[in-house]
Amino acid sequence: MSVNEGMLEYYFNTGKKLAKAKQRLASYPEEFYKSQTIHSHYTQFDGRWGVKGFRQEVQCVDYLDTLLLAERYIEILEFKHIHFQRYLNKLPHDNRYAIKKKYRNHEILDSYVGVTEELCCQEIMEIEEAASYRFKYYVKPEYLMEISEIPDNTEENFIESFEEDFKNMLEMLGVT
């Protein structure tokens, strides 16, 4: 297994990402109410003046969807962070110290890093698999994928895949 440094970098920064995501989630209500006016107002659109109002059915639903997505992101990130930190705490002190120095401080100290990186990548792949089972419909982000896992998006493959998916959809709808 090759070492995916981007994936390791991501996992070593989950604590920071988690803090920022929680901070962003806490700021959403204030931003929403600050940027909205519940009353109608005059505005200019398409070169004419007109009345524009607060559209509850659109803006409130979008706001709530944003909150739910942010909470789900935090839940998934917490899951990954907790399990990765548990794994790091089980590593021998020298190995843990060396890999933390490399990915948190961007320093390479000694030969402990190479083997430890491979072990960490294996553990991360297991954490990703567990996350996909735990959080249904969770798709691993592209930056965490190995190059061999990224689908070949050549024109022929796309057309072939599209045609097959389209036929399956028609069968499900009972059109064919």
Per DSSP, which regions of the chain are E strands? 41-45, 48-52
* Model confidence pTM above 0.85: no
Q: Percent helix, strand, coil in the chain (nearest 5)?
A: 70, 5, 25
**What six digits make up the tokens of 152?**
């070949």
Tell me how far CA of residue 53 lies from CA of 21, 39, 60, in angstroms: 31, 6, 13
Q: Are 95 and 112 in contact (CB under 8 A)?
A: yes
Q: Read off the pLDDT of residues 17-63 as tens digits, 9 standing for 90 and up.
A: 999 999 999 988 888 777 666 666 667 777 788 776 666 667 778 88
Q: Are 78 and 17 in contact (CB under 8 A)?
A: no
